[in-house]
Amino acid sequence: MNWNLVFTAWEILFVGIGLVVLITGKLWRFSKKQPVLSGRPARLSSLAFFIPPALELLVQVIMASVQSKMLSFVPTPTAGLYIARLIFLILGIAAMVTVLWPKRGFQYSVLVLATLFALYPVWFAILASVREGERLYTLSLPGMFLPLEPSLKNYQVMLFERPFLTWMKNSLTVAAAATVFSLIISTSAAFALSRFRFRGREAFLILLLALSTFPGVLSLVAVAQLLTALGLYGKHLGLVLAYTTGTLVFCTWNLKGYFDTIPIDLEEAAMLDGCGPVQAFLLIALPLARPALAVTAILAFMGSWGDFIFASVLVPAPDKLKLAVPALYSLANSMSVPWGYFAAGAVIVVIPTLLVYLALQRYFESGLTLGGVKG
């Protein structure tokens, strides 16, 4: 199919509609016997039909001039050009829908555009993972959206010819251990900060809040030196300790806010029935905090699972100890970048995160909202 002809046809169609509206001063919709707009509002609405094609032509001129290093109007067909023209086509359709259905058209247009913007990168990675060779994209416009010649060779290489399953196991072990340690420590700290009043409590809370404003990468050198002194540099245990300390501030604040919403009367009633403070915490407060625990576990797991900087610096070698994300980066070399392997590995890496989220999603909304009410 000649896609240049298709894009040129929509440009002509939109410009033609805009000229009709501009000349007649009326904007019609097929389902209405009366014009939607008339007079000056209709003529102003014609800009919605002129601007997207004009912007597309401007992009073509810019791309053609960049390619030929002089003023030109006919660019060489590339995947970027096709994507740009398609984006302007979608924007033109959204503008037309907004003008024809002013009450709901804008809302639906924004919703559709946001959905495409969020989902297409994931779909693009899936397409690249089933594309043969090491190609990240194709010059065929349908191939940018549909798997024309799907192949599972990239997955076969990653699963059976590379130690990818070992990398996944390492990542799962480290992320799970860091999540468990973070929950154990932060739950106790959050409950103490929520229930007990002691000297220095407010200052400690402010200190935690101040620490959360600094990016974790600032502590990378110090953490590496500490782990080296402890003999844990290059080991998974050292990385678990680094992830645990990095997530403690957020986990403590999130859980502390949730514990503040649980009435202390419940624990006092339990202690009147014979429970001690520890029993009241374990049997009353902790079960009621399951939504917050689930949310905290999800976010702590995702932070450890998808990290690249700490994992690549603190566990640099050998291959059998590497985690999945930095190990994927190590597949590239100065001569070539195996985009197909990258995409297949990225798709597989996402699966554990999705499973954890699906398993705990019923707690996600309540855990986030109730944990931020008080503090």
Complete domains list, the chain, with CATH:
3-151 (no CATH), 156-370 (1.10.3720.10)
Cα-Cα end-to-end distance for the chain: 61
- Pairwise pLDDT comparison (228 vs 102), residue with the higher score: 228
Query: At which residue do the structure tokens 């797991």 appear?
Result: 301
- Pairwise pLDDT comparison (369 vs 313), residue with the higher score: 313
pLDDT at 113 over 50: yes
pLDDT computed for residue 31 by the predictor: 60
Contact between 177 and 300 (Cβ < 8 Å) = no
Give this prediction's pTM.
0.74
pLDDT at 135 over 80: no
Q: Given CA atoms 125, 126, 128, 133 in this order, what sign does their dihedral have? A: positive
pLDDT at 243 over 90: yes
- Pairwise pLDDT comparison (352 vs 368), residue with the higher score: 352
Contact between 168 and 294 (Cβ < 8 Å) = no
The whole-angstrom distance between residue 173's C-alpha and the CA centroid of its chain comes to: 23
Helices 339-370 and 164-195, axial angle in degrees (round to 10): 20
pLDDT at 371 over 50: no
**301 to 140, 179, 244: CA distances (angstroms):** 39, 6, 10
Per-residue pLDDT tens over the stretch 160-169: 888 999 999 9
- Specify the range with the lowest mean pLDDT, choosing from 102-116, 181-195, 280-294: 102-116
Contact between 287 and 317 (Cβ < 8 Å) = no
Which residues are registered as beta bridge partners of 37? 27
Contact between 230 and 343 (Cβ < 8 Å) = no
Contact between 85 and 56 (Cβ < 8 Å) = yes
- Mean pLDDT, rounded, of the chain: 82
Tokens at 97, concatenated: 């829908």
Closest among 125, 152, 149 to 137, alpha carbons compared = 125
pLDDT at 204 over 90: no
Contact between 300 and 240 (Cβ < 8 Å) = no
Q: Which amino acid is at 79?
A: A
- The stretches of the chain forming alpha helices (DSSP H) are 3-24, 40-45, 47-68, 79-100, 105-129, 153-156, 164-195, 201-211, 220-230, 236-261, 264-272, 277-280, 286-288, 290-305, 309-314, 324-329, 339-370
Mean pLDDT of 235-240: 93
- Pairwise pLDDT comparison (352 vs 174), residue with the higher score: 174
Mean pLDDT of 240-246: 92
280 torsion bin: left (phi>0), alpha (psi -120 to 50), beta (else): alpha
- Pairwise pLDDT comparison (97 vs 365), residue with the higher score: 97
pLDDT at 136 over 80: no
pLDDT at 1 over 60: no
